[in-house]
């Protein structure tokens, strides 16, 4: 298997991958990254949860020159949730290389997105309709885009986005390479890539779950009347750190959430009835260990990459086989082992057999834990929850420990530009231009990444600096 160290990646990306706990490339990463870097158009048949986002994020960050103030990469995705997750994943991989990523999608104000697009942006993660709107309104110049990734193409087909993708691709005059990722390749998708891609290489990735070797899969037979009581036993006995429980409907999520709350479990919920801002707030809290258990539907939980999720419980067996793979892949990330347990009632048995046929192996049956184990497990579960969550002792892991984000009390209102901040900071005796990362200028303030471990020294030495002859206060940026 290829190793990241053998792919001629720049040191900043290799360091970011190490910080992100990437050990060895998954099958799709090992296949795609070298060919992407060679400049080939690719059609990749790969399931969700195979590690495919990093397979295009890594070479995109490698190929794009962060010194150029031009939009070079476009990733088209079917949903706003995925647009945000892809933005976060690419940002984490490219941040030390100063690659700036924006997300644009529907149901968010044009004004807010326009403000971000006016800054130095190298890659956009976007839904097709919204990016087309920005291009047609003149908010976004597509002339310099060289790389386009079409992610989850089959889902975009099902959602009726193929015509919009077609229109977007027609507006990209300098396109070098196109990459299409899809779990299946129906005829309409084939027509799309034949029309726009140059002798694409077809890659079919065999593995269904990229981290399957770290995940134990079990199922337990259950009567519907006993389902909730059994879930509680399983939660208490088997949960190592944090758990996510999947239900098939938002009504089931709401009911289970309230029932778990009554049991004094620190729990939250994600489903389609919630506003985007509320979902993002809950996900941020879960990442920072603000609660122990998340109950979610498939659509709301897409793209969750949280290293401390050790347990997945399928309270409802998914009706779509691909959803099972997606769900269990939420656990077993980073250095941790994962455990996925499905509660299977008599109605679910047919769906569960279809899942076993799809993944290609039998899933082991689990016995109901004894009463003694449940009592012991409950005590441990609640003690752990109290020490970490009730006392609000959150453990936020800084992905890039050598990076410090600072806050400046000057922004667009004071006519501050990127080059003004760069000049002022790099003229300080303790910093060079290489130590200054992504600069994000807002209306009344700005944020700057200080690299190479120099941020703390900067904040200790300076409380304010001069930018364009004006005194500007600097401080550690709070979570945004």
389-409, pLDDT tens digit by residue?
A: 544 444 445 667 788 999 999
Q: Give pTM, 2 decimals.
A: 0.75
Among 172, 204, 236, residue at a domain's last position: 204
Residue-level pLDDT at 61: 97
Range of the domain at 450: 404-476
On whether both 408 and 377 belong to a single domain, the answer is no
Residue 218, class by beta-carbon neighbours within 10 Å (0-12 exposed, 13-18 middle, 19+ buried)? middle
On whether both 91 and 177 belong to a single domain, the answer is yes
Q: Residue 129 falls within a domain, yes or no?
A: yes
Among 339, 362, 390, residue at a domain's last position: 390
Number of domains in the chain: 3
Confirm if 242 and 311 have CB atoms less than 8 A apart.
Answer: yes
Binned average pLDDT, 10 residues per bin, the chain of 480 residues:
85 91 84 93 79 92 92 92 88 93 85 81 93 91 93 84 89 87 84 86 73 84 92 93 93 95 92 80 84 86 74 93 84 79 92 90 92 90 72 54 87 87 89 88 89 89 89 82
On whether both 234 and 261 belong to a single domain, the answer is yes
Tens-digit pLDDT profile for residues 179-195: 999 888 888 888 888 88
The percent helix, strand, coil of the chain (3-state, each to 5) is 45, 20, 40
Q: What are the DSSP E strand ranges found in 32-161?
A: 42-45, 73-76, 101-104, 123-126, 147-150
Whole-angstrom Cα distance, residue 374 to residue 238? 9
Tens-digit pLDDT profile for residues 228-264: 999 999 999 999 889 999 999 999 999 999 999 999 8
On whether both 220 and 342 belong to a single domain, the answer is yes
On whether both 181 and 99 belong to a single domain, the answer is yes
């Amino acid at each position: 298997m290829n190793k990241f160290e053998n792919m001629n990646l720049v040191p900043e990306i290799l360091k970011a991958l190490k910080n992100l706990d990437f050990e060895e490339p998954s099958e799709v990463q090992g296949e795609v990254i070298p060919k992407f870097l060679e400049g080939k158009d690719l059609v990749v048949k790969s399931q969700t949860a195979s590690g495919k986002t990093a397979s295009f994020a890594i070479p995109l960050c490698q190929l794009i020159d962060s010194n150029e103030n031009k939009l070079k990469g476009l990733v088209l995705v079917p949903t706003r949730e995925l647009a945000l997750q892809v933005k976060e994943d690419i940002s984490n991989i490219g941040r030390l290389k100063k690659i700036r990523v924006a997300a644009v999608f529907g149901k968010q104000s044009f004004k807010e997105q326009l403000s971000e697009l006016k800054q130095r942006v190298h890659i956009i993660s976007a839904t097709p309709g919204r990016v087309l709107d920005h291009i047609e309104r003149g908010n976004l110049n597509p002339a310099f885009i060289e790389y386009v990734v079409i992610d989850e193409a089959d889902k975009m087909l099902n959602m009726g986005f193929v015509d919009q993708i077609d229109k977007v691709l027609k507006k990209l005059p300098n396109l070098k390479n196109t990459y299409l990722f899809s779990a299946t390749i129906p005829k309409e998708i084939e027509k799309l890539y034949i029309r726009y891609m140059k002798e694409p290489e077809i890659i079919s990735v065999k593995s269904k779950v990229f981290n399957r070797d770290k995940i134990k899969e079990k199922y337990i037979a259950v009567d519907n009347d006993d389902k909730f009581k059994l879930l509680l036993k399983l939660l208490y006995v088997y949960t190592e750190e944090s758990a996510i429980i999947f239900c098939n409907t938002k009504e089931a999520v709401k009911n289970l959430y309230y029932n778990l709350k009554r049991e004094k479990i620190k729990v939250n919920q994600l489903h389609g009835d919630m506003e985007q801002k509320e979902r993002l707030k809950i996900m941020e809290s879960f990442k920072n260990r603000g609660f122990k258990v998340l109950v979610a539907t498939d659509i709301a939980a897409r793209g969750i990459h949280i290293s401390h999720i050790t347990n997945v419980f399928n309270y409802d067996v998914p009706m779509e086989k691909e959803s099972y793979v997606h769900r269990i892949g939420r656990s077993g990330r980073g250095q941790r082992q994962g455990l996925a347990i499905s509660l299977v009632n008599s109605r679910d048995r047919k769906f569960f057999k279809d899942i076993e046929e799809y993944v290609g192996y039998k899933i082991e049956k689990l016995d109901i834990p004894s009463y003694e184990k449940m009592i012991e497990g409950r005590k441990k579960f609640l003690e752990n929850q109290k020490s970490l969550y009730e006392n609000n002792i959150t453990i936020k892991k800084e992905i890039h420990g050598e990076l410090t984000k600072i806050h400046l009390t000057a922004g667009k209102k004071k006519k501050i530009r990127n080059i003004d901040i760069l000049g002022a900071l790099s003229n300080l005796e303790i910093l060079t231009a290489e130590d200054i990362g992504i600069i994000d200028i807002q209306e009344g303030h700005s944020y700057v990444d200080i690299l190479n471990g120099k941020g703390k020294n900067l904040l200790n030495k300076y409380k304010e600096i001069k930018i364009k002859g004006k005194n500007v206060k600097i401080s550690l940026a709070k979570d945004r």
